[in-house]
């Protein structure tokens, strides 16, 4: 079963954790010094916040899958969309190990599609060569360019 992913960049992580914990009536399932994530079942969403110096507000959306079959199904749909797809393959980002791809929708919103394989001890973006856009040279979760781009957080 697929799960909607929402990533919001925040300025004050502690304040945002208090707000979203109240809104969702639960504490985050993952909480780090620069990141928090709620894996909610009602509504079925992977909601993450990051405090890593990016512009505050909606950072990106995504579809998280639970199997290789679901990942193939969504990748097939992405390949038929009228936009370039960035296939990152296996990456470490947002304290998770995942297989992911990115696309930008007509409104300029970045969407990631990913299958998480496990937890990681580091946020990611430590020179492992993960792109943030089709033409970008920065690593995962680096500075967000002026035009629509892909960050890596799941």
**pLDDT value, residue 139:** 32
Whole-number Cα distances in Å, 25 to 17, 57, 84, 87: 11, 21, 38, 35
| Mean per-residue pLDDT of the chain | 83
With 50 as the cut, is the pLDDT of residue 54 above it? yes
* pTM assigned to the model: 0.76
- The answer to which of 12-21, 32-41, 71-80, 122-131 has the lowest mean pLDDT is 122-131
Contact 148, 105 (CB under 8 A): no
Confidence tier at 153 by pLDDT (50, 70, 90):
low
């Amino acid at each position: 079963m697929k799960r909607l992913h929402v990533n919001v960049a925040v300025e004050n992580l502690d304040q945002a954790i208090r707000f979203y914990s109240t809104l969702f009536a639960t504490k985050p399932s993952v909480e780090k010094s620069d990141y928090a994530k709620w894996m909610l079942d009602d509504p079925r969403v992977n909601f993450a916040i990051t405090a890593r110096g990016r512009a505050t507000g909606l950072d990106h959306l995504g579809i998280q899958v639970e199997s290789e079959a679901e990942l193939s199904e969504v990748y097939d749909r992405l390949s038929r969309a009228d936009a370039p797809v960035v296939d990152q393959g296996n990456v470490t980002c947002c304290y998770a190990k995942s297989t992911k791809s990115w696309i930008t929708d007509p409104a300029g919103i970045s969407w990631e599609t990913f299958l998480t394989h496990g937890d990681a001890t580091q946020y990611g973006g430590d020179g492992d060569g993960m792109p943030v856009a089709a033409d970008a040279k920065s690593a995962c979760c680096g500075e967000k360019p002026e035009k629509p781009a892909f960050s890596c957080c799941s």
